[in-house]
Chains A and B, each alone.
Chain A
Amino acid sequence: MKSKLTVPQLLAMALVFTVEAAAQAPSTAPAKSSGLRSDELTAPAGGSANPDTKKVRPRDSTPHGPTPRLADGHPDLSGVWNGGGPVGDLAQGLAPGETIPLLPAAKALMDKRQAKDDPEANCLPTGIPRISPYPWRIVEDPTHIFFLFEGNIHSYRQIFMDGRKHPDDPDPSWYGHSIGTWDGDTLVVDTIGFNDKFWFDFRGHPHTEQLHTIERYTRKDLGTLENKVTIIDPGDYSKPFTLTFTARLRPHEELMEYICQENQQDAQHMQGTSGPPQNP
């Protein structure tokens, strides 16, 4: 069987399957929202990649179905998600043919930034719209929406849903001051009050304290959450620009502890600028 498979076939299959740990805690994915149990997404075990593994589930385990809704009729955004923002390069969220309108001084700053100085590599927060390559959870209550991040760092965002306005002069912070409103089925998160410390990606795309972000979250279906984020920062960019990223529901996942500061040994070994994203 194995000898008949070509490398392209193996690669294709690698995208289709992944391995689930038998020891992993039973899913408490938003059953109320998704109507799915974890075992409904689990393929029959045919083997395992290691002796401890009992189950195999489709790699593309993003569930499909209608957008779940809350009692008030708004889409229910709760659940554990992966992705939904830039990791390696902000430009990957651009529409085809578009470019990032970096001002010359901002480009010069980006070009000289060293990978070892990336705050995220040093276990500091991502800011917005950057996302870590780790799961995160949306939790809703009547007055707040929380984004709980597994990594990096083990932190959270709070979005005020009670109709308040931004403060006149917020103290600059990593996640800023966020207020949310509904535009039909889209959650609009307006954020100001950022510090200028975080980078937008591994490349080092910069921003200033003038940064203002408008994120538009639309749960397209059960398993797909689109984030269309507009970056407004006249300090570093000649005009506002909009990026689109997609988060995928991870119904099997629970957040796990991730204390980045515990054993960080990477930054001191990094050299040069990070350059374009690269896989080994």
Chain B
Amino acid sequence: MKAAFASLLAGLALLTPAAALAHHSFAAEYDTKKPVTLKGTVTNVEWTNPHARFYLDVKDESGAVTHWNLELASPNVLVRQGWSRHTLKAGDQVTVEGAQAKDGSQMANARTVTLADGKKVFAFSPSDAPAQ
């Protein structure tokens, strides 16, 4: 029961609008019609404003590696949700679901990040906030 409740809360964290905030227009930068799922190795984490970022090396079937720049919410938003600068580190194997930049660059807004053991970290990323 306790585990079920924890799972429920993890799900709620994905839905909470608290992190759905940014200092810029989400719609102008990312295309929700271009969802991406990326599986790779974290090469670096930048715990900086206005957005925390991490970088991912993604290897395709031929062995070619592409390097992705992934945007999270601000560190302040993430810390207020209980995450920390230690949550994700270089060398972690992760699967990322997000929306790619409209300009086609290998940059995306990371909506969810799942570690190799299945644990979801961070959750949801910034978007336009409602007025008020």
Contacts and interface: CB of A to CB of B under 8 A. Distances in A.
Nearest to B3: A47
B101 interface: yes
A223 interface: no
A204 B22 CA distance: 16
A262 B53 CA distance: 12
B3 to A, nearest CB: 8
Contacts of A24: 79-80
A27 B2 CA distance: 27
Contacts of B37: none
A258 B49 contact: yes
A80 B16 CA distance: 20
Interface residues on chain B, size class: 35 or more
Interface of B: 1-13, 15-18, 20-30, 32, 46, 48-51, 53, 69, 71, 74-76, 79-84, 87, 99, 101-103, 105, 107, 109, 111, 119, 121, 123, 125, 127-132
Given A21-B79, A118-B24, A266-B24, 18 more contacts: A2-B11, A13-B12, A24-B79, A47-B5, A48-B6, A49-B82, A51-B119, A133-B21, A151-B50, A201-B131, A202-B24, A264-B50, A266-B29, A269-B105, A271-B103, A277-B131, A279-B20, A280-B26
Interface of A: 1-2, 5, 10-11, 13-15, 17-24, 46-53, 56, 59, 83-90, 92-93, 115-116, 118, 120-121, 123, 132-134, 150-152, 201-202, 245-246, 253, 256-260, 262-267, 269-280
